[in-house]
A and B are shown apart, each in its own frame.
Chain A
């Protein structure tokens, strides 16, 4: 079993939820500088505590996280660590320049001696408002971006790209990734459609904030079935489960700390995002199937239930 350490680098000084887009009047750069230093120290130290992966993510226009570009955090971690995988979970490729993503990921992989896990995320709905990208194009943009990035990583000669969303006269990536043919790709698989998409791309699948096991179990079944149809066999190492986690001396202590922290996360930090997400879900084809959109809306509504308390067996009588 491998373990990742995930830290969203939140701005925790807000006292009340803000409407979308979150006003930055209370932001203070001096405080943020201290937070970045403290948070980076914390993430880097996770390697010494037995974590195999150090995970960074990308979100926009929200106090939820100060990582507008997780690759910058990855670069800051490269020389503070020696063995842990640096998992970018990840770049929101449908709304970014795919060549820039390919370049930065290749740089991280080379700089770290092949420790990159390349997360290609579609992003949660509100990101599309932030970057002014049509949410209805999210899957087609993701599909094309992955094809372009993997070709840019592996193609030894310059090539032209004339796609539906991206066009380049000549692509010739320097540097190429350290890992061959390229770093392992991780895709989100929080519904059956995205699970099949991950299998189609021979990628690892990741699910976070699961409220019960029935949904991920079904998604994994789809992932395994689709992979088999495409001629490959995923291993347990291809399946990532993410959970908010508190470890304390006793279950009671963990719950006492986690419940208000989750209330702050969902009420204050994610308040603006959830407002924007509902807007996108209602007014676009972000989810190709309406039932998936309804399920996502349900997840948003129930998010204060999404946590795990690691039971402390050493404390049980």
Chain B
């Protein structure tokens, strides 16, 4: 994300997290990790 944002200077990422038949458990785990681990590192980009 940091690399893409540095190159494209975009202000919005749209994350498609239900991909194909990936399990709903994986999606929910990803959402939790997004909040606790990812967002704190990229919110200020």
Contacts and interface: CB of A to CB of B under 8 A. Distances in A.
B14 A248 contact: no
A45 B38 CA distance: 17
Nearest to B1: A310
B7 A217 contact: yes
Interface in A87-107: 87, 89
Given A42-B18, A257-B22, A3 B12 contact: yes
A220 B16 contact: no
Interface residues of B, number: 39
A243 B10 CA distance: 13
Interface residues of A, number: 63
Interface in A230-279: 235-249, 257-258, 260-266, 268-269
A183 B10 CA distance: 20
Contacts of A208: 14, 16
A34 to B, nearest CB: 11
Contacts of B32: 49
B45 to A, nearest CB: 4
Contacts of B15: 3-6, 51, 242-243, 245
Contact of A245 (B24, B28, B30, B42): B30
A229 interface: no
Interface in A301-317: 307-308, 310, 312-314
Contact of B44 (A1, A87, A269): A1
B45 A1 contact: yes
Nearest to A38: B24
A2 interface: yes
B22 to A, nearest CB: 4
A208 B14 CA distance: 8
Contacts of A89: 14
A237 B4 CA distance: 15
B8 A5 contact: no
A248 B26 CA distance: 8
A50 B34 contact: yes
A12 B20 CA distance: 7
Contacts of A314: 37
B33 A247 contact: yes
A239 B34 contact: no
A161 B38 CA distance: 49
Given A4-B15, A239-B12, A243-B13, A264 B20 contact: yes
Given A3-B15, A6-B16, A8-B16, A220 B21 contact: no
Contact of B38 (A7, A247, A263, A268): A247
Given A4-B14, A208-B14, A243-B15, 16 more contacts: A1-B13, A3-B14, A8-B18, A51-B31, A55-B14, A239-B9, A239-B11, A242-B13, A242-B14, A244-B16, A245-B16, A246-B19, A257-B26, A258-B19, A268-B21, A312-B33
17 contacts: A1-B11, A1-B42, A1-B43, A6-B17, A8-B16, A10-B18, A42-B27, A50-B35, A50-B39, A206-B14, A208-B16, A243-B16, A247-B17, A258-B19, A269-B20, A312-B37, A314-B37
